[in-house]
Amino acid sequence: MDCFGVVAEFNPFHEGHAYFIDKAREMTGCSICAAAMSGDFTQRGEPAIFDKWERAKSAVEHGVDIVAEIPQVFACSSASYFAKGGVSVLAGLGICDCIAFGSESGDIESLKRCAVYLDEHENDIKAAAAELVKDGVSYPKAREQAACSSDIDIPSDPNDILAIEYLRQDLKSMKPVAVMRHGDGHNETASALRKEIEMKDPVHFAEEQKRYFDLVAYRILHETPEELESLLSAGGGLGYKLVKEIRHAGSTEELIGRVKSKVYTRTRIQRLLTDILLGIHPSDLTAPGYIRILALSGRGAEALKEAQKSGLCTAPVISNLTKESDKLNDSQKNLISFDIMAGDVYNIIKHYDLYDHSDFVKPPYIKA
């Protein structure tokens, strides 16, 4: 349907994203862009600089036509699950001819070979990584070392790692397109922009960090170490370590600093803090199965309407949570409850009105 899909965070949307969208549009020959975007908490487990509604609006204002939310349990998870959630949303739309992603190399064939190798040797890599973890190596490093023991050159750049994970998913009929990274990477540019935004009002953001830490501290003290250890990003004693250190920390940074080690990476700890806030367990990583619309351009709205009318869209489309929740089965209702809770917790952190900014009240942004 003359549409390409992307998986993104747009945290916040910047010139690098605009370049990527334009280049992907040129390479795919498609005019319509659909984005699967993370919600209020990002893949690193941190609250987004702007809420999902504002980021989705910004994306549509800058050339994206459809923005649908990646379910929160996938959006704040590891690269493989993040990719699974994003690709599933795009595949469910049923209108994407291609899926485009950023890459350090832009070499799609090399990335495909890496994806095939990882699929074929996944169990061996996991076993080798587990042994390295026992020796005090963090799991991401252990997995990288285990994978790189082959003749295949497995890249370590975050963009290429995600690209490989996209290729390992069921892309349905979507043709993969690798867009070579241009200038500073999206992560570096977005990080610099976030710091710049925070420096404009440091007191405000310090207050947000305090509210975030207070919520995290309450949840850690409320749960047993065993319960914390059962959460998605825990295991290996990390839940017990948080309980031990929480009374000695006065901020999120201090808590992470006290817990961080060769085995427990900063990103893993940050993700676990989000899992603690939302109560996410491994069993909650079920198939996404729904399309949560956050923003649309005029042509995006027309394309989505046609996809639903023709039966191309294979997942229930949710634009109004109050009126359309009956479209969801029990598993989907459980999954979307984490999106709703993430929004409520985010609004508390940001000190937003809990009614006006509720997922039950906020409508998708529609660009005329």
Residue with tokens 């990002």: 42
Residue 345 lies in a domain: no
Residue with tokens 């959460």: 231
pLDDT of residue 368: 81
Residue 190 lies in a domain: no
pLDDT of residue 38: 98
Q: Same domain, yes or no, for 262 and 310?
A: no
The token duo for 102 is: 């950023």
Q: Same domain, yes or no, for 143 and 244?
A: no
Q: Which residues pair with 341 in a beta bridge?
A: none
Residue 65 lies in a domain: yes
Q: Same domain, yes or no, for 332 and 299?
A: yes
Cα separation of 294 and 9, whole Å? 13
Q: Same domain, yes or no, for 8 and 107?
A: yes
pLDDT tens over the chain, length 368 residues: 699 999 999 999 999 999 999 999 999 999 999 999 999 999 999 999 999 999 999 999 999 999 999 999 999 999 999 999 999 999 999 999 999 999 988 899 999 999 998 999 888 888 887 777 777 777 667 777 777 766 677 787 888 999 999 999 999 999 999 999 876 555 568 889 999 999 999 999 999 999 999 999 999 999 999 999 999 999 989 999 999 999 999 999 999 999 999 889 999 999 999 999 999 999 999 887 899 999 999 999 999 999 999 999 999 999 999 999 999 999 999 999 999 999 999 999 999 999 999 999 999 999 98
Residue 266 lies in a domain: yes
3-state secondary structure of 321: helix
Q: Same domain, yes or no, for 268 and 250?
A: yes
pLDDT of residue 358: 97
Cα separation of 87 and 70, whole Å? 9
Cα separation of 277 and 325, whole Å? 24
Q: What are phi and psi of 52, to 5 degrees?
A: -65, -30
Quote the number of domains for the chain: 3
Residue 100 lies in a domain: yes
pLDDT of residue 177: 97
Q: Same domain, yes or no, for 253 and 290?
A: no
Residue 137 lies in a domain: yes
Q: Same domain, yes or no, for 263 and 304?
A: no
Residue 166 lies in a domain: no
Radius of gyration for the chain, computed over Cα atoms and rounded to the nearest angstrom: 20
pLDDT of residue 150: 62
pLDDT of residue 349: 98
Domain span at residue 128? 119-154
Residue 162 lies in a domain: no
By CB atoms closer than 10 A (0-12, 13-18, 19+), residue 356 is exposed
Q: Are 313 and 92 in contact (CB under 8 A)?
A: yes
Q: Same domain, yes or no, for 255 and 216?
A: yes
pTM above 0.85, yes or no: yes
User: Residue 35 sits in a domain of what CATH number?
Assistant: 3.40.50
Nearest Cα residue to 337 out of 73, 133, 117, 7: 73
Q: Which residues pair with 364 in a beta bridge?
A: none
By CB atoms closer than 10 A (0-12, 13-18, 19+), residue 319 is middle
Q: Same domain, yes or no, for 103 and 138?
A: no
Boundary residue ending a domain (282, 303, 321): 282
Q: Are 189 and 16 in contact (CB under 8 A)?
A: yes
Q: Same domain, yes or no, for 274 and 292?
A: no
| H or E stretch at 139 | helix 139-147
Q: Same domain, yes or no, for 77 and 147?
A: no
Q: Same domain, yes or no, for 84 and 34?
A: yes
